[in-house]
Amino acid sequence: MVDFNTALSASLAQYEELLGRPFAPFPTIETVPDEALWARADQSARALNIAVSSGLIASVEALWQTSVSDPWLADANDDSLPFDADWFSHVSLVWLLMHEMQHADLDHFAFLGRKRIAEADQQPGMGLLSRAASSAAPVQKVRRQDRPLVEPCLELQADHDAIELVLDAYSPDDWPAIRYRTAAVSGMMVLIETAEQVSEGMPRSHPKAATRIFQLLGHVMEMPTIPAMMKAQLRGETTIDPEDLPSDEEQRAFATSVTLPCYRDAVHLARLAGASAIADDLGDERSFFNDLKIAKLMDVDQFPSLVTAGGQEWASLVALNDRLLRLQGLI
C-alpha cells in the first residue's frame, strides 16, 4: 500500500539533497475521496497545497500491481524484479509531487495569473473561470495566437525539472534503477493522459503523453554525457572535453541496456493501461529514436523530418518554450 505522506517526505528530501536548499513554502497534501483520476496544486501567499484524488492513487497501484507480474519488465538476464509494485507506485507519486512543486519553483502560478494548476481537466473546479488568466499576468505578453500552447510548454518545463530530480545523476552502477525510475515516470504520464478529457473546441492544457515521454527519454539518452556537459559549463566552455565522456563502449551498452528498454517499457505500459493511442503516438522503435536524434541536434530545418506524434508536438512547442523561458527570466 503506497503512502502519500511518505512520497512527500521522499520528494522533499530528494529536492533538498540535490538543490542544497529546502523547498519553500512547505507544501501541504491531501487525498480527496473521488473515483476520478486527478491532481491539482493550489498556491496562496504562504502555502502550496497539493491534492490528489483517491482514484489516482488507486489507478497508480493497479497499474503497477499488473505490471510487476508481467515478465516484460524484468531484466533480460534476471526474471526477478529488484523492486515491487509499492516501490514503482511510490516513485510515480514522488515524480508527480516533484512536478507540482516545480510549477511553484518556476513561478508558473504568477506567470499564468492563476492560483490553481491541475493534472487532468476533469477534476473538480477546473472550469473556464479557474483556467482564465488575470489581465495583468505576464502570460498576456505572449502573442494571442501562441497562448493555447503556453500551458503545454509550462507542463514540459515542470516535467523536465521533475525528471532531473527523480532520475538523479548518472552512474554506471545505477543502470537498473535509472530504467525502473524512468518506467515509474512513464506510467504516471500515461495515466494522466488516460484521465484528461478535452472538451470539443477547447485547447489541450497538457502535451500528449507521447510528447512527455519523448522529452523523458531524450534526457535518459543524454544521461551518460551530462556530467561532461556540466564540467564544461563550470569551465565556462561550450565544448565538451572528450576525456570527460564515458567510453564509446559504455555509452553503447547504456543505450542497449537502459534507453532502449525504457522505450519498450513506455509502449507496454500504455497498452497495459488500455491506451493504445499513446503507443501509436510514440511510434515504432526506429522512428522514435531517429526523431530523438533529430531533436538532439536542435536544427529547426530538420524538424519537418520528425515522424512520430510525440516528436512533432515537441517540435511545435520548443521555439515558444524558449521565448517563454526568456519572458520568465529563467534563461
Asked if residue 200 belongs to a domain, the reply is yes
Per-residue pLDDT band for 2 (boundaries 50, 70, 90) equals confident
Domain count, the chain: 1
Asked if residue 170 belongs to a domain, the reply is yes
pLDDT tens per residue, range 12-30? 999 999 999 999 988 999 9
Higher pLDDT among residues 136 and 55, named by residue: 55
Mean pLDDT to the nearest integer, 176-196: 93
Asked if residue 1 belongs to a domain, the reply is no
- As given in the structure block, the three cell numbers for residue 45 are 501567499
Q: What is the pLDDT of residue 119?
A: 84
Q: What is the pLDDT of residue 196?
A: 74
pLDDT tens per residue, range 278-313? 999 999 999 999 999 999 999 999 999 999 999 999
- What amino acid occupies position 116? R
pLDDT tens per residue, range 76-115? 555 556 788 999 999 999 999 999 999 999 999 999 999 9
Q: What is the pLDDT of residue 135?
A: 62
State the chain's mean pLDDT as an integer.
90
pLDDT tens per residue, range 248-280? 999 999 999 999 999 999 999 999 999 999 999
CB 217 within 8 A of CB 262: yes
Cα distance between residue 276 and residue 243, in whole Å: 43
Asked if residue 121 belongs to a domain, the reply is no
Q: What is the pLDDT of residue 29?
A: 95
Q: What is the pLDDT of residue 151?
A: 94
Cα distance between residue 270 and residue 63, in whole Å: 10
Asked if residue 152 belongs to a domain, the reply is yes
Q: What is the pLDDT of residue 81?
A: 66
* Range(s) of the domain holding residue 293: 56-111+135-327
CB 223 within 8 A of CB 172: no
Q: What is the pLDDT of residue 202?
A: 54
Residue 125, pLDDT > 50, answer: no
Q: What is the pLDDT of residue 195?
A: 83
Q: What is the pLDDT of residue 134?
A: 59
What is the chain's alpha carbon radius of gyration, rounded to the nearest angstrom? 19
Asked if residue 130 belongs to a domain, the reply is no
- As given in the structure block, the three cell numbers for residue 277 are 493511442
Residue 200, pLDDT > 60, answer: no
The vertex-206 CA angle with 205 and 210, nearest 5°, equals 155
Residue 10, pLDDT > 70, answer: yes
Closest listed residue to residue 216, CA positions, set 274, 276, 158: 158
Q: What is the pLDDT of residue 331?
A: 84
Mean pLDDT to the nearest integer, 55-60: 96
Q: What is the pLDDT of residue 236?
A: 87
Asked if residue 76 belongs to a domain, the reply is yes
Per-residue pLDDT band for 122 (boundaries 50, 70, 90) equals low
Asked if residue 229 belongs to a domain, the reply is yes
Q: What is the pLDDT of residue 46?
A: 84
The two beta strands, 28-32 and 39-43, are: unpaired
